[in-house]
Amino acid sequence: MAPTPAKYALVSLPLSTFDTGDKQEALDSLKTTISPENGNVLPFPVPNFKIGTLDALVQQADDLAKLNPACEGVVSKVSDSLRSLYEGNEDKASEQKMVNDKPTDQYLRSFTWNKVRYRADRPVGELIDILQKELATIDNDVKTKFNQYNQVKTNLAALQRKQTGNLATKSLTPIVDPSLLVQDSEYLETHLVAVPTNLKKEYLKSYETISPMVVPRSSIQVAQDDEFVLFAVTTFKKHSAEFQQKCREHKWTPRQYKYVEGGKEEEQRELDRVTREEKKVWGEALRLTRTGWSESVMIWAHVMALRVFVESVLRYGLPLEFVSALVLTNAKLLKKVKAALDSSYSYLGGNAFGRDKRGRITKDDAALTSEMAAAGLGHADANEYTAYVYYEFEL
């Protein structure tokens, strides 16, 4: 049975929710609320960034809500590229998914804001712009290199088919004896025709009469495999096109071939060259895709940290007193995590949330719309609105 995929939830709550203003004690309380059976609660430290105007914060929340799915899309594409490089082997692909030389899960568990790369004293809008540009660069770099690899891989496959295919598709250079061909004649031309094995008798009976001026008894069997028999047959040049067309109508395959001295050796050299190139570009694509995974996941984590900060300011106001946490769980237990959080913190939604006669959490959609507008939270978001800052994601 396949393991249950890991799911993550980011949560932010105002410190005023807890009996103490201490963040560690607030995290301990949050662990109790969720319970270890449902998920592992870890600190997700978010710096205190520069705060601009309310209008700027609302715009930044919008920008981050749009940037988040872009990050998810790039991470997903990079993951698909890694899997493709390993011919669909998920285990081998997963071994390459490191972030800053750590397994992805470990990186998220121990996340800290990269203050060297993204100085926390920069305006939030500027940080969003930097992250957006870096994400676009990673996406473009991985896409370009992977397209290059796919082209080389396609070229190699075509050359290999020439070596290993049937007589209707493979290269005829190592098969055809040039002495069988009429060469340097002003009037005559030799055609090579791949005839399906089951049509061989029909071919021998009719090839002389399917078009004018086929040289009688000129057909010679050149080679045979499990599917086709290759014949050489001579016609007058002025009727060559008609002869080839009639062959196609009879489901015989005319093969294009021109003798070139040293052609066999040249084909082998080309195959060897493209084989080496494929290995080289595969290695380059792997290195760049590994980097792409590390960079895109790191960018996404920083985007989510900014989202937590901006949403927390919009919802909880000033001073900046909130605790943020990462919940590691799985798809089956995520609903229980959410239910436990709703049960304890839905009152933060004011009139937008209430309880029914059985004490279950309910939402008043009209009041919810009003609360969101008052909080400046009218921007689009794939996550359902909650009474507290809450985002789900998976890697």
Average pLDDT for 244-254: 96
pLDDT of residue 132: 98
Confidence of residue 362 (pLDDT cuts 50, 70, 90): low
**What pLDDT is attached to residue 376?**
45
Contact criterion met (CB below 8 Å) for 82 and 93: yes
pLDDT tens by residue, 163-189: 888 999 888 888 898 888 888 899 999
- 325 close to 11: Cβ distance less than 8 angstroms: yes
Is the previous residue joined to 174 through a cis bond, with omega within 30 degrees of 0?
no
The reported pLDDT for the residue numbered 385 is: 72
Rounded CA-CA distance 161/163 in Å is 5
User: Which pLDDT does position 88 carry in this prediction?
Assistant: 92
Task: Give 247's contacts (C-beta < 8 A, 6+ positions apart).
Answer: 191, 193, 210, 253, 254
- Report yes or no: 71 and 296 within 8 Å, Cβ to Cβ: yes
Q: In the predicted model, what is the mean pLDDT of residues 212-222?
A: 95
How many C-beta atoms lie closer than 10 Å to residue 13's C-beta? Answer: 27
Confidence of residue 350 (pLDDT cuts 50, 70, 90): low
Report the DSSP pairing between strands 40-43 and 322-330.
antiparallel
β-strands 98-99, 102-103: how paired?
Answer: antiparallel
pLDDT at 328 over 80: yes
Provide the CA 351 distance to its chain's centre, in angstroms: 42
Give the global pTM: 0.78
d(CA 251, CA 255): 13
Residue 4 banded pLDDT, cuts 50, 70, 90: low
The separation between the first and the last C-alpha atoms of the chain, rounded to the nearest angstrom, is: 20
Lowest pLDDT segment from 62-76, 168-182, 183-197, 281-295: 168-182
For the chain, what is the total number of helices (H) and then of strands (E)? 10, 12
From 3-12, 139-148, 282-291, 340-349, the region with the lowest mean pLDDT: 3-12
> 22 or 364, which is more confident?
22
pLDDT band at 86 (very low <50, low <70, confident <90, very high): very high
Is residue 266's pLDDT more than 90? no
Mean pLDDT, the chain, rounded, equals 89
pLDDT in tens, 107-166: 999 999 999 999 999 999 999 999 999 999 999 999 999 999 999 999 999 888 888 889
Give the confidence band of 383 by pLDDT, cuts at 50, 70, 90: low
User: 32-41 burial, b if ≥16 CB within 10 A, otherwise e?
Assistant: ebbeeebbeb
Give the tens place of pLDDT for each residue, 225-244.
Answer: 999 999 999 999 999 999 99
pLDDT of residue 307 exceeding 60, the answer is: yes
What mean pLDDT do residues 194-216 have?
96
Percent over 90 (pLDDT), the chain? 74
How far apart (Å, rounded) are the C-alpha atoms in residues 322 and 158? 60
- pLDDT higher than 50, residue 370: no
